[in-house]
Each structure stands twice: as structure tokens, then as C-alpha cells.
Structure 1
Amino acid sequence: MRALVITAPGVAEVQEVDEPVVGPGEVVVDVHRAGICGTDVEFFTGEMAYLHTGHAEYPMRLGHEWAGVVSEVGEGVDPAWLGTSVTGDTMLGCGHCRRCAQGLQHVCEDRFELGIRGGKPGALAEKVAVPASSLHSLPDGVDDVMGALVEPGGNAYRSVQGAQLSRGDRCLVLGPGTIGLLCALFARAEGAEVHVLGRSERSLAFARELGFIAWTEDELPDLAWDAVIEASNAQHLPAKALDLVEPGKRVVYVGLAGLPSTIDTRDLALRDVTAVGILSASPGLSGTIDAYASGAVDPRPLIAATVTLEQLPGILAGERPDGAGPGPKIHVTMQEEKSQ
């Protein structure tokens, strides 16, 4: 089968590789659609921290945002999964430790992360093998486009849940990338007044197209923010988020900068602010699927372009596909898709 393989920093190619062999408790999925995110780009450039901590090494097969159909089941797996449209969890815990037993497999010390950590091949390929326990079925009304947006959506869903918004609250999202805009969509679905802070006019204009109030840092008005969700990769914005949020309210950190960010915990304590950190989509996948299925959140406008596997090396190197729209997300198609 064809799969994208990164062999060194700045070197990616589509290779013919062996199809996955299904193991006990696993399924093989025919991948229909997958997404590219900033983590994938960091692996391509060689900047991703896991490459320097021993959690990942080249060659690598990326892909953790995906949707497809189960084509094979392993020993101990219910055959009813065959033919089911699915997506799956990225975080694959060991299944034996205290954290896994408490439902916290996404912070298991010995976890695999599909296409990211521990050498587990990802879904930027025609087929992928995953544990059946990681699967989430996609109901009617959730097509492959939305299915491949469940994983980033889960991070945003959890971020908004962590903000504990009430109807009429004013929420500020820092960073108009995929996660930030998904946070804005979920916050609006909760009935909040949503503002977005960004830098480029293109990204701010797109946020306004989606119906949000968008500002640059210099323009941001002095308003009372009931929640601030920090979804950028800017080193200074975590501290600014804490400065901006109303006393007694919540700041959520889901973005990661390339260098350490610092906050003054005296401000956190003396203003009685609750800070919430979000690592993964895992506990939010079901809620995200429900929101997509009900129509409460429609993530599809975020897709700028859909490309082939062969176009991916150029995309990872920073090329913008011809005719790409204003959204932040690039998707890849591998096989015939399920449409809504």
C-alpha cells in the first residue's frame, strides 16, 4: 500500500509499504480521509520535541486525524465492526497502569500516540491498524470530512468544557488556527459571545467570515473576559491570557509554544483564577461526534483544500495548494469517501 514516510528532517516521500497485519484486539481501517496539523509539520522540520526525547525517531509514518471504514477485525474483536465508518483515539495507553485503569490512558507514561509517539504507524496511508478499543463509530450525518476533524475537535470540545461557559458569557480565543477556530465554534454553541485574537489579516478575515469578532493584539478592547482560551503557539500569550481573564474565572491552555512560556502564579492565586491544561482529545471524542451529528457545530468550513497523498511532501514544506480557500486545515484523500 502507499504511505507517507518521513525519513529525515525535510525529507518526505510516498512509499510502497507492507499492509498492516491485524493483531488480537485490533482492526484494520481503510483510510478515506486524513488531516495535517502543526505536529506533523514539526516532525517534518525536525523540531518536534519527541524526536529529541527519544519518544519518536525517523523513519516515521504520520497521521492522527482520520476517518475510514473497518475492513478487517482481529481475534477477540466483534465482527459487527466490519464495514463501519469510524474514527479513532490518537492516545493508546498501555491498558495496565493506574492511569489507564482510571480512564486516563491519554496521559499513560507508556502510551503510544498514533503517528506521533512510540513508532505506531499513522493514518497518512491507505490502511491503518488500531486497537478496537480506540474506535468511535461515525453516525449518519457525520461524513468523512467531519470524521477527520473529530480529533482536533475533541481538543476544542474539552477546552470549552474546561472554560465552563454559561450562555451570554464573553469568551476570548487566542489564536485563529484550526484548534482556536474549533474552540470558537464550540464556545458559540454554548451560547457565548466569542472573540478571536490573531495576527494575520487573512486569518482574522476568515474568523469574521465565520461570524466571530476578531482583533489584533494592539486593537483588543478592554472588556471583561469570562473565559480566555489560549490556543496559539506564541510564547508570550499564556501570560497575557492570565492577565486578561476576569478574577474568579477560567483560563484554558491548549496551545503549545516552541519555547517555554511562563506565568506568574501570584496572579493566578491572588485573582482566584482557575487554569486548565488540555493535552488530548481523548475524553472529548464522543461529545465532539454528537455535536457534529446534531449540527450544533459544523467544522467543514475550516478545510482550505483537499489534496492527494503524493502532494503531501510539498504541503509539509509549506506549499499552499492552488485554489486553496481561506481556512487553516489541509485534508488528504486516500480512497472513496463517505459523504453526508
Structure 2
Amino acid sequence: MRAFVITGPGRAEVRDVPAPEARPGEVVVDVERAGVCGTDMEFFSGAMSYLHTGQARYPMRIGHEWCGTVAAVGAGVDGCWIGRRVTGDTMLGCGRCRRCASGRQHVCADRHEIGIRNGWPGALAEQLPVPVRALRVLPDSVDAALGALVEPGGNALRAVGAAALPPGGRLLVLGPGTIGLLAAQIAAAQGAEVHLLGRDGGSLAFAASIGLTRAWTVETLPELPWDAVIDASNGAELPALAAELVEPGRRVVYVGLASGPSLVDSRNLVLKDVTAVGVLSGSGGFAGVVELFAAGLVDPRPLVAATVCLEDVPAVLAGERHPAWGSGPKIHVVPSSKGT
């Protein structure tokens, strides 16, 4: 089968690789669509921390936002899975440790992460092996674009839940990227007054175009009491700003990751009695996001600027944008199509 392989910093190619076989407890999925995210770009550039801690190494196959159809099942897996449209969790715990037993498989010390950690191949390929326990069935009302947005949507849903907003509360989201916009859409669908903080007019104009009109820069941000702040940015200075802006006795949620250390003055948390919550993954959020998408309560499809083939991915990872693409922050890939 064809698969996208990163061979070193700034180097990648589409290769013919052996197709996966469904091992016991696993299925093989024909990948319909996959998303490219900031983590993938860090693997391509060589900046991703897992490359420096030994939890990932080249050559590697990326892609952890995906949807597709089950094509084969391994021993112990019910054959009724064949033909089902699915997506799945990225975090694959060992299933034996204390964390896995308590429902925290996404922070299992020995976990695999699809397309990210400990060598599990990713979804930028025609087929993908997945443990059946990680699958989530997609209803017909959730198309391919929505299906490949479920994983980042799970992150966003968990972040909004962790914010613990009061009814009708005011939320500030830092960073109008994919997860920030998804968090804003989800919170708005739940009745929150949502504001966005961004750096440039282009991203804020796009947010306004999808109905998120309360969009600001640092210079224009109004002085309002923020019942919760979600930091979905990659700015090293913004975690501290989130702690400064949030109302006393409320919550700040960290779901974005900067490339370098982010400093937060713990005195701001203590003296304001603020709760700070970190969100690592979409684990636990998949079912809720699928329900929101299926019911039409949240429609993030405008976030997808373009859908490309595997041969186009190196340029995408390098940050190139085609003039004909839309303004959304997300690029999707159809692994089964071929470039010219």
C-alpha cells in the first residue's frame, strides 16, 4: 500500500510499504480521510519533543486524525465490524497498568499513540491497524470531513468540559487554530458567551466568518470578567496571560503546547484561588463530539481549507498554502488519491 513516511527533519516521501494485517484484538481500516495538525508539522521539522526523548524516531508514519471503513478483523474481533465507518482514539494504553485500570489509558506510561509515539503507524496511508477497543462508530450523518475532525473535536470538548462554565458564562479562548475554534463552537452551542484572542486579522476574520464575531487581539481585548480561559495556542507567553485574565475562583484550561517552556506564576493561581487543568488528548470526548456533529449542533467543516493527496503533504508540513485554498486552519488528506 502507499504511505507517507518522514525519513528525517524536512525529508519525506510516499512509499510502497507492506499492508497491515489485523492481529488479535485489532482491525484494519481503509482510511477515507486524515487530518494534518501542528504535531505532524513538528515531527517534519524535527522539533517534536518525542524525537529527543526516544519515544519517536525516524523513519515514521504520521497521522492521528482520521476516519475510514473497517476492511478486516483479527482473531477475537466480531466480524460485524467489517464495513462499518469508524474513527478511533489515538491513545492506546497497555491495558494492564494501574492507570489503564482506572480509565486513564491516555496517560499510560507504556502507551502507543497512533502516528505519534512508540512506532504505531499513522493514518497518512491507505490502511491503518487499530485495536478494536479504540474504535468509535460514525453514523451516516457524519461525513468524511466531520469524521476526520472527531479527534481534535474530542480535545476541544474535554477542554470546554474542564472549563466548568456556569450557565451562560463568558469564555475566552486563546488561539483561533483548529482546537481553539472547535472549543469556541462547542461552548457556543452549549450557551456560553464566547470570545477569541488571536494575533492577526486574517485568523480573526475567518473566526468571524463562521459566526465567532467576538474576536480580538491583545490590543483590542475588552476588560471583561472571564469565567474561564482556554489556552489553545502555541504561544509560550499565553499560559501566563490566561492565569492573569481568568476570574478568581474560576478555571483556566491548557490544551495548547508551545515549542518551548511556558512559565506561569503560581502566585496568580493561589492568590486568585484558580483551578488550572491540563488536557492531553481527545480520549473520553469522542462519543460526545460524534453526537454534536451528528445532530448538526456543531459544524466544523468550514475549518477545512483544502483536501489534498499524499504527494502534497510535504508542502503542507512545511507551511505552504496554495492561493486557491480556503482560509480555514485545517488541511485534510485522502490517502487513496494520487498526485499528478
Please, what TM-score do these two structures have when normalized by structure 1?
Answer: 0.97
Aligned partners of 1:27 and 1:70 also within 8 Å: yes
Aligned partners of 1:239 and 1:264 also within 8 Å: yes
Structure 2 residue aligned with 1:80 = 80
Distance, in Å, in 2 between the alignment partners of 1:321 and 1:71 is: 34
Structure 2 residue aligned with 1:291 = 292
How far did residue 321 of structure 1 move?
2.7
Distance, in Å, in 2 between the alignment partners of 1:211 and 1:128 is: 35
Structure 1 residue aligned with 2:110 = 110
Structure 1 residue aligned with 2:222 = 221
Question: Deviation digits for residues 83-117 of structure 1, max 9, x if unmatched?
Answer: 00000000000010000011110000000000000
**What secondary structure is seen at the aligned counterpart in 2 of 1:205?**
helix
Structure 1 residue aligned with 2:332 = 331
- Residue type matched to 2:243 in 1? L
Structure 2 residue 181 is the aligned partner of structure 1 residue 181: yes
Structure 1 residue aligned with 2:132 = 132
Aligned partners of 1:165 and 1:190 also within 8 Å: no
**What secondary structure is seen at the aligned counterpart in 1 of 2:284?**
helix
Question: Deviation digits for residues 116-147 of structure 1, max 9, x if unmatched?
Answer: 00000000000000101100000121111101
How far did residue 76 of structure 1 move?
0.1
Distance, in Å, in 2 between the alignment partners of 1:166 and 1:305 is: 36
Aligned partners of 2:3 and 2:335 also within 8 Å: no
Aligned partners of 2:308 and 2:332 also within 8 Å: yes
Distance, in Å, in 1 between the alignment partners of 2:329 and 2:76 is: 40
Distance, in Å, in 1 between the alignment partners of 2:319 and 2:295 is: 35
How far did residue 73 of structure 1 move?
0.2
Distance, in Å, in 2 between the alignment partners of 1:302 and 1:98 is: 38
Kindly report which structure 2 residues correspond to 1:1-340, keeping only aligned pairs within 5 A, or say none.
Answer: 1-212=1-212, 213-335=214-336
Distance, in Å, in 1 between the alignment partners of 2:336 and 2:19 is: 15
Aligned partners of 2:97 and 2:108 also within 8 Å: yes
How far did residue 79 of structure 1 move?
0.7
- Residue type matched to 1:257 in 2? A
Q: Percent identity?
A: 64
Distance, in Å, in 2 between the alignment partners of 1:149 and 1:194 is: 21
Distance, in Å, in 1 between the alignment partners of 2:167 and 2:146 is: 26
Distance, in Å, in 2 between the alignment partners of 1:11 and 1:159 is: 34
- Which runs of 5 or more structure 1 residues have no equivalent in the other structure? none
- Which runs of 5 or more structure 2 residues have no equivalent in the other structure? none
**What secondary structure is seen at the aligned counterpart in 2 of 1:282?**
coil
Question: Deviation digits for residues 298-329 of structure 1, max 9, x if unmatched?
Answer: 11110000001111111112211341101000
Question: Deviation digits for residues 276-302 of structure 1, max 9, x if unmatched?
Answer: 110010111111111111111111110
- Residue type matched to 2:142 in 1? V
Distance, in Å, in 1 between the alignment partners of 2:301 and 2:65 is: 14
- Residue type matched to 1:327 in 2? G
Aligned partners of 1:89 and 1:151 also within 8 Å: yes
Distance, in Å, in 2 between the alignment partners of 1:10 and 1:157 is: 33
Question: Deviation digits for residues 53-97 of structure 1, max 9, x if unmatched?
Answer: 000000000010000000000000011100000000000000100
Question: Deviation digits for residues 216-270 of structure 1, max 9, x if unmatched?
Answer: 1111111111110000000111010011011111110001111111111121111
Distance, in Å, in 1 between the alignment partners of 2:104 and 2:69 is: 26
Larger CA deviation: 310-319 vs 75-84:
310-319
Distance, in Å, in 2 between the alignment partners of 1:269 and 1:101 is: 32
- Residue type matched to 1:191 in 2? G
- Residue type matched to 1:267 in 2? N
RMSD: 0.9
How far did residue 167 of structure 1 move?
3.1
Larger CA deviation: 163-172 vs 212-221:
163-172
Aligned partners of 1:142 and 1:289 also within 8 Å: yes
- Residue type matched to 1:154 in 2? G
Distance, in Å, in 1 between the alignment partners of 2:223 and 2:108 is: 41
Distance, in Å, in 2 between the alignment partners of 1:328 and 1:318 is: 11
- Residue type matched to 1:171 in 2? L
Aligned partners of 1:69 and 1:86 also within 8 Å: yes
Larger CA deviation: 315-324 vs 275-284:
315-324
Aligned partners of 1:166 and 1:191 also within 8 Å: no
Please, what TM-score do these two structures have when normalized by structure 2?
Answer: 0.97
- Residue type matched to 2:249 in 1? G
**What secondary structure is seen at the aligned counterpart in 2 of 1:279?**
coil
Count of residues in correspondence between the two structures: 336
